[in-house]
């Protein structure tokens, strides 16, 4: 991944984190990586642990940011979430998607409980 794309991805994740924090979520981890995959943000929302996929797409040619979280991406995120949970007590969890079509907080689409295992 080139430096510009990495910087844009980081900016999108920062914008998403700020957006979620303003809505009461507490960010616990950023860019959690393991052999199973990666989770962009891990947060707590009340008593629920939230695994967040952040997607930025400048074009909706192929369905936009939210549509880009396909079954393959969902499976990878769920595997990484299971890895994260392996040595932690059981707790309610959900997977959210924060979709952006540009780096603009007013254009964020937050999809709660976007998919599950």
Read off the pLDDT of residues 15-33 as tens digits, 9 standing for 90 and up: 999 999 999 999 999 999 9
**What band does 56 get if pLDDT is binned at 50, 70 and 90?**
confident
pLDDT value at 73 more than 90: no
- Strand order, beta sheet including 109-115: 26-34, 37-45, 48-56, 93-100, 109-115
How many angstroms separate the CA atoms of 69 and 39, rounded? 13
Q: What is the pTM for the complete model shown?
A: 0.88
pLDDT value at 43 more than 90: yes
**What band does 60 get if pLDDT is binned at 50, 70 and 90?**
low
């Amino acid at each position: 991944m080139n430096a510009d794309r990495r910087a844009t991805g980081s900016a999108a994740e920062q914008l998403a984190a700020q957006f979620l924090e303003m809505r009461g979520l507490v960010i616990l981890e950023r860019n959690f990586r393991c052999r199973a995959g990666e989770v962009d943000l891990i947060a707590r929302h009340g008593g629920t642990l939230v695994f967040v996929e952040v997607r930025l797409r400048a074009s909706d040619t192929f369905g936009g940011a939210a549509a880009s979280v396909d079954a393959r991406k969902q499976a990878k995120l769920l595997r990484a979430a299971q890895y994260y949970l392996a040595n932690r007590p059981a707790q309610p969890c959900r997977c959210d998607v924060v979709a952006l079509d540009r780096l603009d907080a007013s254009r964020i689409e937050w999809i709660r409980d976007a998919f599950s295992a």
